[in-house]
Structure 1
Amino acid sequence: MRFVIIGAGRVGLRTARVLRDEGHEVTLIERDDGMIRRARNEAFSVVEGDGSQETVIEEAGIANADVLGALTGDLNVNFTACMIAKHHGCRTVMRIDEAYREGIYRKYADEVDEVIYPERLGALGAKNALLGGTIRAIADVAPHLQVLELTITDQAPVNGYAMGELQLPADATVLAFGKQDRTLGIPSEDESLEVGDRLVVLADFDVLSEVRQLLVGETASRALVGADASGDSGGVN
């Protein structure tokens, strides 16, 4: 897949590294000289300029991109970039600062494909949002513990099971359950697991791959490890 990422600060650059490591093509947009040098030193393609300007986004190849991730610390830049990308038919992921909380989330959630708080989720959480799909990091709660939301697929071995029949690894536990398009809550043993249902799981990094295989049906080449919960102190375009 081809990605355009606005912002080469901590969140943007770390997300770009994760995507590139998985074989995706990434172009960054940044206007800070130091961040541009750092990204280019890591052999990333960087377009210098304001990420809220359509000409700059077009120079970065938005016409042929699959996803735009607006990951700067500036909400106005991020929202403008997403609206431009929407006109080019791209999936859009917009970063908002955690301090904006639910009011801002509700304001913008209908305008973009996904809104994220990377200060909580780290680079892998941002990557999950950019890729979309059936698994997302919610929070790191300890050095080796992560909270994930997973969506049951038709390939999941547990599809059709009742909650009482679900057996996760010893170092993983279900925190919440939600039927497709319904609010998350505490599951009962009689709840059935069906395509589109969501499970929020607390798991040790060592068993993430096994949890993913059970609930999503995809054998991960590596677990979602090393999530970095550091904020992005710069990268504002």
Structure 2
Amino acid sequence: MRVAIVGAGAVGRSIAGELLGNGHAVMLIEKNGSKVRAKAVPGAEWVQADACEVTALEEAQLATCDVVIAATGDDKANLVVSLLAKTEFAVNRVVARVKDPRNEWLYTEAWGVDVAVSTPRVLAALVEEAVTVGDVVRLMSFRKGAANLTEITLAEDTPWVGRALREVPLPRETVLTAILRGERVITPSPDEPLEAGDELLFVMHGDVEEELQEVLSGRPVG
């Protein structure tokens, strides 16, 4: 997979290093010449250019990229890059960093954003995931809630403990992707019995989160 990362600050370089380590081709685009440090991310292609200019992105051949990550420290720049990537270069997947949480509402499909990543929101979700039992915790949203990655830890008093997955009436547009049980990662199967403390990971529509919580807890939400 070929990935373009706009912004070669600490965040952009860290993402590039992870992707390179996973075998992907990475192009780093940075406007500030002082941040163009090829030795900082060996193996990455470096381009010094203003990614908010169409001609610069054309020269960088952005259309050849499968994914664009707008990772600058400027929300305006990230939104412009996202819009250009999607509308001018038809990039399949656009991920954008939200610098100021107050601007998160702007990071929508209208601006070409498929996934918006807000550090405060992610950290809060991880804290909730670690300490919350019996409640649905949203870990990440895709396409502004059209699909969410959510987690729920089964409480001891849930009516589904000891029963097979096939018996659980999951809401529409809800897919159980994995069960975390201790140190094990279990691929769900219809005959898998549920246990108290199981962490269930779902991909689902945001509209049915409360319904899922009611099903798995056995009581109305609120």
With the length of structure 1 as denominator, give the TM-score of the two structures.
0.57
**Equivalent residue, structure 2, for 1:152:** 176
* Cα distance change, pair 63–47 in 1 and its aligned pair in 2 (3 A): same
How many residues of Structure 1 are paired with residues of Structure 2 in the alignment?
164
Checking the alignment, whether the CA contact within 8 Å between 2:98 and 2:116 is kept in structure 1 is yes
The one of 78, 91, 94 equivalent to 1:92 is: 94
Q: Work out whether residues 13 and 41 of structure 2, in 8 Å CA contact, stay in contact via their aligned partners in 1.
A: no
For CA contacts below 8 A with separation 6 or more, give which structure has more relative contact order: 1
Q: CA deviation at 1:15?
A: 0.8
**Structure 1 spans left out of the alignment, 5+ residues:** 123-137, 192-237
Identity of paired residues, percent?
A: 29
- Residues in 1 aligned to 2:47 and 2:206: alpha-carbon distance in whole angstroms: 39
Residues in 2 aligned to 1:106 and 1:4: alpha-carbon distance in whole angstroms: 24
TM-aligned CA deviation for residue 181 of structure 1: 4.7
Contact 1:3 1:66 in 2 (8 A): yes
Greater Cα radius of gyration, structure 1 or 2: 2
Per-residue deviation at 1:117?
1.1
Residue equivalent to 2:18: 18
**RMSD of aligned Cα (Å):** 3.5
How do residues 70-219 of structure 1 correspond to structure 2 at under 5 angstroms?
70-86=70-86, 87-90=88-91, 91-100=93-102, 104-111=103-110, 112-118=113-119, 121=122, 139-141=125-127, 148=139, 149=149, 152-153=176-177, 157-160=187-190, 165-167=193-195, 173=199, 179-185=204-210, 186-189=213-216
Structure 2 residue runs of 5 or longer lacking an equivalent are 132-136, 140-148, 151-174, 179-185
CA contact (8 A) 2:62 2:89 kept: yes
CA distance in 2, matches of 1:178, 1:48: 38
- 1:177, CA displacement in angstroms? 6.7
Q: Is the contact made by 2:101 and 2:120 (CA closer than 8 Å) also made in structure 1?
A: no
2:53 is aligned to 53
- Write out per-residue CA displacement over residues 133-185 of structure 1, whole angstroms, 9 at most, x where no aligned residue: xxxxx74439xx6985355359x8325479xx4348x6x645x9785452423
Q: 1:180 to 1:119 in 2, by over 3 A?
A: closer
Aligned to 1:202: none
Q: 1:178 to 1:93 in 2, by over 3 A?
A: closer
Question: For the Cα contact (< 8 Å) 1:30–1:49, is it kept in 2?
Answer: yes
Q: TM-score normalised to the size of structure 2?
A: 0.60
Alpha-carbon contact 1:153-1:159 (below 8 Å) kept: no
